[in-house]
């Protein structure tokens, strides 16, 4: 190989040192970090904060009072308003008539989020970020393991590639876990945005009870989703740890033999 491509010895030494460091870090993650983290998450799943059976306990009061109805001082004005609304509906512009209440400021100050869910989210988010990042070094831990497996893939040859296919399958599984973990963060962001829009609707249309009930429904849905996320994070650590350990020989020495099965 050296006759085909000349590589500076100093650079080669640095690259080899880099490969050795990645290998040591990734093997430590698989051997120690994965099992410890899955046990931590399994313990977290037994925490009372994530095992509330009566979902009313996580409800948050929406402190927006329903204003008194507007009384028309002139009956003729009321008839004109009705006629105007009728004309709007006939013209197909009925939606423009439902303008709601103009909101300049919240009566009770800032409308706060659901404190119960915020506390739980703040506990779950670091676990999601850890699965993606794990910044003990400048490398994300999933990227470390993925890079480690990729660096072990040998050069392309004809035949005897069963071990290589296992390596590629492991890399694909790592990519899948990475993508799923990122989607959990997106889900949390969508919850906040959806809830904010609904609370804004309540402020604008305080007489509509369905908006208030919908906020309660999405709070309950998010609570259940957070528990599922923690369970999925634990299962992903279990799956990765199990898959890599069962195939560690093929991952590290893909062309030593093609007689062993995948699992």
What is the per-residue pLDDT for 29?
Answer: 82
Q: What integer pLDDT is reported at residue 230 of this predicted model?
A: 95
Q: If we measure between CA atoms, which residue out of 252, 236, 249, 227 comes closest to residue 34?
A: 236
At residue 112, the pLDDT reads: 85
Give the C-alpha distances (Å, rounded to integers) separating 96 from 90, 100, 190, 207, 208.
12, 10, 28, 18, 17
Helices 209-246 and 115-132: crossing angle, nearest 10°? 30
Residues 6+ apart with CB under 8 A from 232: 180, 184
Which pLDDT does position 179 carry in this prediction? 81
Question: What pLDDT, on the 0 to 100 scale, is given for residue 241?
Answer: 85
pLDDT of residue 120: 94
Q: Read out DSSP for 168-213?
A: HHHHHHHHHHHHHHHHHHHHHHHHHHHHHHHHHHHHH-TT-HHHHH
Check whether 224 has a pLDDT greater than 90.
Answer: yes
Confidence of residue 221 (pLDDT cuts 50, 70, 90): very high
pLDDT (mean) for 3-14: 78
pLDDT at 139: 34
Residue (of 224, 46, 227) closest to 127 by Cα position: 227
- What is the dihedral angle through the alpha carbons of 221, 227, 233, 235, rounded to the nearest 10 degrees? -110
Instruction: Report residue 85's pLDDT band, with 50, 70 and 90 as the boundaries.
Output: low
Q: What is the DSSP letter of 63?
A: -
pTM passes above 0.75? no
User: What is the percentage of the chain residues whose pLDDT exceeds 90?
Assistant: 30
Is residue 166 within 8 A of residue 190, CB to CB? The reply is no
Q: Give the model confidence (pLDDT) of 10-44 as tens digits.
A: 888 888 888 788 778 878 888 898 899 999 999 99
In this predicted model, what pLDDT tens digit does every residue of 151-187 receive, in sequence order? 666 554 545 555 567 767 777 777 788 788 889 989 9
């Amino acid at each position: 190989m050296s006759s085909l491509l000349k590589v500076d010895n100093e650079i080669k030494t640095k690259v080899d040192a880099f490969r050795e460091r990645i290998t040591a870090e990734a093997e430590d993650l698989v051997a120690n970090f994965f099992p410890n983290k899955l046990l931590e998450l399994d313990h977290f799943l037994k925490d009372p904060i994530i095992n509330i059976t009566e979902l009313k306990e996580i409800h948050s009061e929406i402190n927006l009072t329903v204003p008194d109805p507007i009384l028309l001082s002139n009956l003729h004005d009321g008839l004109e308003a009705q006629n105007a609304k009728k004309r709007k509906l006939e013209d197909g512009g009925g939606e423009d008539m439902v303008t709601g209440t103009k909101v300049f400021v919240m009566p009770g100050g800032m409308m706060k989020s659901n404190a119960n869910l915020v506390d739980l989210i703040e506990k779950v988010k670091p676990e999601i970020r850890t699965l993606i990042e794990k910044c003990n070094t400048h490398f994300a831990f999933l990227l470390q393991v993925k890079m480690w497996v990729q660096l072990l893939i040998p050069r392309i040859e004809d035949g005897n590639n069963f071990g290589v296919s296992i390596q590629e399958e492991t890399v694909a599984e790592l990519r899948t876990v990475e993508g799923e973990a990122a989607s959990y963060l997106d889900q949390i962001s969508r919850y906040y945005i959806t809830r904010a829009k609904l609370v804004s609707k309540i402020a604008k249309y305080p007489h509509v009870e369905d908006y208030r009930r919908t906020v309660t429904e999405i709070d309950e849905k998010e609570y259940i989703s957070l528990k599922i996320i923690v369970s999925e994070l634990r299962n992903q650590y279990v799956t990765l740890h199990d898959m890599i350990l069962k195939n560690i020989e093929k991952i590290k020495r893909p062309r030593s033999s093609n007689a062993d099965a995948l699992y």
